[in-house]
Amino acid sequence: MGAGKTGTSALQVAFAQNTKELERVGILYPSDASVDDAELGKITSGNGLTLARYANPDSSVLNQIQLIGGQRAFDRALKTQSNLLYSSEFFQNFKTEPLKALVERAAKADYKTKIIFYIRSIAGHAASVYSQTIKRQKSEMSFIEFLEKRYKNHFLQFIQRANEVVDRKNLLIYNFDAARTNIFAHFLQEALSIEISKHNFIYPKNVNRSLSAFEMEFMRYLNARFEKRYQSAFVSDALIYAHSEVETEFTITSREMAFLRAQYGATIDALNEYVIGEKLLLCDSSVTEAERPEIHLNEFERSVLSIVAKLVPMRPALADFGPIKNANGIAQSFLSMLRRQGSKAARKDKERKQLGQG
């Protein structure tokens, strides 16, 4: 089920890339429109998105049409008598009664429902959600503004509500921080009790990674110049797909840490009553508590980003123009150039400091 920013995209890619191997151990990952994209390593919301909407319905005509199609697909899957695996971080928004109805629908076909939920350190989750907000919601906020005005952690409320739908033995809560090095292997072994050494599973690379500090700064610069959210998402997607291998670490200041400790310190103990295996911390190894160095874009970087900000809204017009088949390539080229410039600047700054110390 999620939560969001706990490896759900990586798991959904893994499920899509391993459907045949999963079927060999009696697990069906029902196909939907998202599976083809996930199989290519792209970010999706999983094959359970329609069921998640069923569990959190709205009155729109589109939603009603999707629910009818989703119910029919779910009923067809139930008739297979296979173990069914559905995944979507949007399940976390469920309403209790509709989700109970979904569980009862499965029970009539002799299915027992398990809810599997990954959670992570509050500081790590806040940092990752902040990065996602910069990437996809055209935000220019600083991290402390985000914490004070927007961030809400609902792990505990979700778990307590889920426990009203299924009993405790069928509510599996795991610590993402303990599984992050290979979350798919962890899921197979711990949640599904599969001996992975006997199978040929494919383990995906990093999916939907967070932004580095430098990337965060130039996305904030772009976001101030974009008019639509999709423009922000378009550039950030180009960036993370082009450089999926980048390892990121987030620096959190003492003021920000104090805020999180005051807001969520007591929540950690309550969460750990549910966690199976290694317990949760307020701050994990992906986050460093220190004073955050300021990043200032130079004139060249600002000029290139200003060009990107003008080109992105032209994307539909550019897509079929001469040799330019996809404006995504334009964004990737500019952003790659900026990354190289940023790396060079960082090295020069480090060299200057070393010389100064010498």
Query: What is the rounded average pLDDT of the residues 309-322?
Result: 67
| 57 and 103, same domain (yes or no) | yes
User: In whole angstroms, what separates CA 36 from the centre of its chain?
Assistant: 18
What is the helix, strand, coil percentage profile of the chain, to 5? 60, 5, 35
Q: What is the pLDDT of residues 176-215, one digit of tens each?
A: 999 999 999 999 999 999 999 999 999 988 888 899 999 9
| Radius of gyration (C-alpha) of the chain in whole angstroms | 22
| 194 and 325, same domain (yes or no) | no
| 98 and 160, same domain (yes or no) | yes
Task: Give the structural domain span for 53.
Answer: 8-122+153-198
Q: What is the pLDDT of residues 78-127, one digit of tens each?
A: 999 999 999 999 999 999 999 999 999 999 999 999 999 999 999 999 99
What pLDDT sits at residue 4? 86
User: Domain count of the chain?
Assistant: 2
| 49 and 96, same domain (yes or no) | yes
Contacts of 243 (CB under 8 A, 6+ apart): 336, 339
- Full-model pTM: 0.85
What pLDDT sits at residue 99? 94
Listing DSSP states for 13-54 in one string gives HHHHHTHHHHHHTTEE----HHHHHHHTT-----TTHHHHHH
The verdict on residue 259 lying in a domain is: no
The verdict on residue 166 lying in a domain is: yes
| 229 and 160, same domain (yes or no) | no
Contacts of 150 (CB under 8 A, 6+ apart): 133, 141
| 188 and 67, same domain (yes or no) | yes
